[in-house]
Structure 1
Amino acid sequence: MVAVERPLGIDELLERVRAGYQRIEAPEAHEAAQSGAALLVDIRYAALRERDGLIPGAVVVERNELEWRLDPQGSHRLPEATGHALRVVVICNEGYASSLAAASLHQLGLHRATDLVGGFQAWRAAGLPVEPVRSQGPVGPATS
């Protein structure tokens, strides 16, 4: 009889992927973005961005496009996806989906990818800059 491995639950999966990299707190992410040392990538869906606003300077990339937009070797990459050494901070609403997204970026060789502990809600709770969504035009970097 072949032994079948027990399936992971989501909590265990999150614990495992988070053990593979150092997560970042909101103040450190803000400082890294301000100094040009990190690219903030907002993967929240449109309704949450419209409700809560945007982080100035963050690039908005829908979760289902993340790997295609950040793969430095990909034909659909963003201009900011300059190489595998890029420090990417993935931001979701509360810091769960971003952990899985960061792990996926690691599989693409983006070994410095991480995510924001507590997500956008932690950013806002820390009193860091947030701006309203201005229009329904093309999605790209938020401007200050």
Structure 2
Amino acid sequence: MSGRPPGAKSVDQLLEEARSRITRVTPEDAVSRMADGAVLVDIRPQSQREADGEVPGALVVERNHLEWRFDPESDARLPQATGYDVDVVVLCQEGYTSSLAADALRSLGLTRAGDVVGGHRAWVAAGLPTTGGPAT
């Protein structure tokens, strides 16, 4: 089959739609939200966290488990999934996957879910604290 099937969207369209429904924040804004009680969730795979470092205080929930861990009605939910009003800020490597993931949480009813613009790379570039990763 050549060409896009009817109704199919490009990944750029999916990303644009997701971002229109969530709040995106700078790394500095994420720190501020964490100070106010938000949960920063690092969805990067272990290999990226090992290679590039981790954010102190971030809750690690790899992408393939995210919805089950944050759905307030899921038997697999985390203690941080206290309800639909929990403030969740999702972090990935560059700020793409996190947008899609935050929108999935929004679809579950977590209306305050958002993500970090630029992801972990922007976090590091902003000079915010990390542990592990390459020596600087």
| TM-score using structure 2 length | 0.90
| Ranges in structure 2 where 5+ consecutive residues have no aligned partner | none
AA partner of residue 28 (structure 2)? P
Number of the residue aligned with 1:10 = 11
- CA deviations over 1:75-123 (Å, ceiling 9, x no partner): 0111111010011001000000111101110111001000110001101
**Deviation, structure 1 residue 53:** 1.0
3-state SS in 1 of match to 2:122: helix
- CA deviations over 1:51-70 (Å, ceiling 9, x no partner): 11111110000100000111
Number of the residue aligned with 2:94 = 94
Number of the residue aligned with 1:59 = 59
The percent identity for this pair of structures is 52
Number of the residue aligned with 1:25 = 26
1:68 partnered with 2:71: no
3-state SS in 2 of match to 1:90: strand
Distance of 1:118 and 1:112 partners within structure 2:
19
Distance of 1:76 and 1:58 partners within structure 2:
19
3-state SS in 2 of match to 1:68: helix
Distance of 1:5 and 1:102 partners within structure 2:
26
AA partner of residue 70 (structure 1)? F
Distance of 1:62 and 1:68 partners within structure 2:
11
